[in-house]
Amino acid sequence: MTRIVYLNGDYLPETEARVSIFDRGFLMADGVYEVTSVLDGKLIDFDGHIRRLERSLRELEMSCPISSADLLTVHRELVARNGIDQGMIYLQVTRGNPGDRSFLFPPADLPGTVVAFTQNIPNLADAPAAKVGFRVITIPDLRWSRVDIKTVQLLYPSMGKMAAKKAGVDDSWFIDEAGAVTEGTSNNAYIVKGNRIITRALGNDILHGITRAAVLRFAAEAQFEVEERAFTPAEAQGADEAFATAASIFVMPVVEVDGKPVGTGKPGPVATRLREIYLDEMRKAAI
């Protein structure tokens, strides 16, 4: 079945959707995006994603041509029209089409481009990978210094995914100049030592994960100690457990770092329990 997508106020078959070659999202990666999970036909943490979208737009001095209320309508309509029970909705907002290429921002009143589409993933909540865990390698973090803004300039994360694929593993973790882990290619990174969950503090050098915020809240409520600081690959290899979080993977155990097992080399009880708590609580709160 051909997907129905959203483009600037219209719902269209994906084969009919067109964006100008002069759109700044295409020419300059001048745009931001969000990915919202869908479980049981409902949106997970939609308000959190919209708040982060608004922050990203502010940081880039970009306006959004559609209201938050209308974005909710669009998301729900796409779920309904495409019959999504489990999956994702990708939303992208760019600075629009100025009619030619220029490094300078176009006038502020130029309408932006808004695109949204669904990805049907029937086993999103029961992903087989969660039962065996991710294996990761580490690579230098060569991204620009404002990765807290969720922009569409994803070439280096894509290269990180490809480096992992070529190494026969699941993902790459980025390492800063000090030798500490920043985050994964499309997820936040954590280690577990005893009752303590350790993850890098928020700043310009990591994405302010919506799933991260929810998982840390649930962890604190479950009486885990949360420590926000940098950690090294060696610490991860010596930890009891490790895991990653994102809207696309929820809570994913990490069982190997640079070829060395973490803990028992299998998904541990903390990551497994946090995944259960997250899915249960977010399903209750879904809209």
Catalytic residue among 42, 131, 150, 266: 150
280/253 Cα distance (integer angstroms): 17
Instruction: Supply the pLDDT for residue 1.
Output: 74
Q: Report whether 53 contacts 98 (CB < 8 A).
A: no
Q: Closest Cα to residue 35, out of 52, 11, 55, 12? A: 52
Count the neighbouring beta carbons within 10 Å of the beta carbon of residue 93.
Answer: 26
Q: Report whether 48 contacts 144 (CB < 8 A).
A: no
With a CB cutoff of 8 Å and minimum separation 6, the contacts of 45 are 36, 37, 210, 211, 214, 247, 282, 285
Residue-by-residue pLDDT tens, the chain, 287 positions: 799 999 999 999 999 999 999 999 999 999 999 999 999 999 999 999 999 999 999 999 999 999 999 999 999 999 999 999 999 999 999 999 999 999 999 999 999 999 999 999 999 999 999 999 999 999 999 999 999 999 999 999 999 999 999 999 999 999 999 999 999 999 999 999 999 999 999 999 999 999 999 999 999 999 999 999 999 999 999 999 999 999 999 999 999 999 999 999 999 999 999 999 999 999 999 99
With a CB cutoff of 8 Å and minimum separation 6, the contacts of 56 are 32, 149, 150, 151
Q: Is residue 150 annotated as part of the catalytic site, yes or no?
A: yes
229/48 Cα distance (integer angstroms): 23
Q: Report whether 192 contacts 222 (CB < 8 A).
A: no
Q: Report whether 115 contacts 91 (CB < 8 A).
A: yes
The side-by-side arrangement of strands in the sheet containing 86-94 is 10-13, 4-7, 113-120, 86-94, 31-39, 42-43
251/188 Cα distance (integer angstroms): 10
Cα-based distances in Å from 161 to 44, 57, 165, 185? 25, 26, 6, 7
Q: Report whether 209 contacts 160 (CB < 8 A).
A: no
